[in-house]
Structure 1
Amino acid sequence: MRKYTFPKDEKLTSEKLIKELFDKGSSFYLYPFKVFFMPHPGEDQSSHQVLITVSRKLFPRAVDRNLIKRRMREAYRLNKPFPEVPKKLVIAYIYSVKEKLPAAQLRERLAKTFKRF
């Protein structure tokens, strides 16, 4: 049975690792996400680590940003684990469009990003 959880150890919180991800990581764009990723440098990591962000410039109201982030976390939670990726990754999802997309569409688009890894 698959575990549909999103525990704290899967959230990317290390500032050093985030900086390294944006400096040295690879990236691609798949509407509506700009995705940065790189192999996890730690050997002891048991799962992927994910960063989810929405720009304040695109959505000045915190209510809107939080809604989109909540939908993105839910989409990630429902679509993991993805067995196609053998190495553990550090991933950043940046929401980059001005309109609020429905949860079903976000789920579908996030699932397509897994195939690109």
Structure 2
Amino acid sequence: MKKTFKKEERLCNKSLLNKLFHSGSSFVVYPFRMVYMEVSLEKVKSPVSVVISVSKRRFKAAPHRNRIKRLIREAYRQQKSIALYPFMESKSLGLLLAIQYVGKEEVPFATVWAKMEKALAQLINENNQ
């Protein structure tokens, strides 16, 4: 599987976003808060649809927010094909996923990578139950 992050994988639909945040489940793997919800594959174009957000309250300057989002996107892009996509395709369901950065300061990419790995493993574990 190619390690890409295309438009079809991004969650932009307002009704699906509202549904995700109002009735989705969540957990925290610091510095991330993961909000997720399983849906039928007809509602989404990809097995996993993702939205990434960084709080404007904690990071006032846009370049800092954008850098954090870029690091998160890169870590997710490289790790999604290892475990998350094969797991969701075996379940024949779609997944709506919001990755929120709740940390108070910027962290290096190695930390983002390790925490993303842990968060995706926990996401698979929680969906497996």
TM bin, normalised by shorter chain, reads over 0.9
2:121 counterpart letter in structure 1 = K
2:57 counterpart letter in structure 1 = K
The normalised TM-score by structure 1 is 0.92
1:91 alignment partner in structure 2: 97
TM-superposition CA deviations, 1:48-77 (whole Å, max 9, x none): 000000000100000000000000000000
2:31 counterpart letter in structure 1 = P
**TM-fit CA distance, 1:42:** 4.0
Q: Higher mean Cα deviation, 8-17 or 106-115? A: 106-115
* Percent identity over paired residues: 39
1:67 alignment partner in structure 2: 67
Asked if 1:111 is matched to 2:114, the reply is no
2:24 counterpart letter in structure 1 = G
2:55 alignment partner in structure 1: 55
Q: Which runs of 4+ in 1 moved over 4 A?
A: none
Gaps of 5+ in 2: 124-129
The DSSP-based 3-state class of the residue aligned with 1:23 is helix
**TM-fit CA distance, 1:107:** 1.1
The DSSP-based 3-state class of the residue aligned with 1:57 is coil
Give the Cα separation in 2 of the matches to 1:46 and 1:93. 17
1:5 counterpart letter in structure 2 = T
The normalised TM-score by structure 2 is 0.84
Matches within 5 A, 1:6-17: 6-17=5-16
Aligned length: 116
Give the Cα separation in 2 of the matches to 1:11 and 1:18. 11
Q: Higher mean Cα deviation, 56-65 or 104-113? A: 104-113
CA RMSD in angstroms, aligned pairs only: 1.3
2:9 counterpart letter in structure 1 = E
Give the Cα separation in 2 of the matches to 1:72 and 1:47. 19
1:89 counterpart letter in structure 2 = L
1:38 alignment partner in structure 2: 37
